[in-house]
Amino acid sequence: MFADLSGKIALVTGGGQGLGLGIVLKLAGQGADIAIADLSEENAAAAAKQVEALGQKAYTAKMDVSDKDSVIAAVDKINSEAGQIDILVNNAGVAGAPGSTGTGFRDEDWDFTWKINVKGLADVTEAVLPQMRERKDGKIINISSVAAKAAKYQTAYYATTKMAVVAYTQALAREFAIENINVNAVAPGRIWTQFHQDWMKEREALGDEAVIGKEKYDVFMGALKEVIPMGRPQEPSDIGALVTFLASEEARNITGQTIQCDGGQVMQ
């Protein structure tokens, strides 16, 4: 094991598919029991079976991070079943409101994206924090994005929320360092998940000539090679490996950091 998480319980929001599932499986592979909080109970249940196949316990809870009551109910359910939450991974996020054009400044895109990517992330964190503070121990990993530093290739509202995640991460890390709670963020680059595939479909429906009639993965790879020095996409397992390290005691002196996993797109 590169990061022994035996005996730890990790809560991953949006853990039922895509990037979240990649994180879930890496954490479970290093010995953590996993609580999967997802809007889709079906996806959460399927992910739980994969965790159990790795020999770890799995717990599920339906969670809508845009609804604070739903967040509190889900965290209470997980605590009652699992006993506590040692690791929190705030992965749930959106790129815009349903029907987003990917351009412009629609109020609904600003409101929806902020409500989930920032306020929802904060609500989940603040529901879990009290038990970590009581134990004086905990690891929180927030999923930001390369868009926080390379907004040229993303919508303004999405990039803004992901930079807000960086600021929130730093503020919490400073405030709770004295209580032995590590708070970090991971900024993924370009990943071919349902998240990106759905965005491509929306672009096609809106008449984007860069997408219409073309193999979507080829479009994705073409754009990727223009901006990523390593010339390859990131995989959910890549992000999961970094999250797993940050959740381990090997990273006990790392806090308040946002670490890129983007094939070199952003270098700092």
Coil, helix or strand at residue 183:
strand
Coil, strand, or helix at residue 43? helix
Q: Is the dihedral of CA 215, 220, 223, 228 positive or negative?
A: negative
- 158 part of the active site: yes
**Enclosing H/E stretch for 139:** strand 138-143
- Catalytic residue, chosen from 59, 157, 158, 168, is 158
- What's the length of the chain? 268
CA distance 102 to 88: 30
- Rounded to whole angstroms, the Cα distance separating 210 from 216 reads 10
Give the residue from 254, 184, 244 showing the smallest Cα distance to 8.
244
HEC letters along 61-103? EECCCCCHHHHHHHHHHHHHHHCCCCEEEECCCCCCCCCCCCC
Catalytic residues: 158
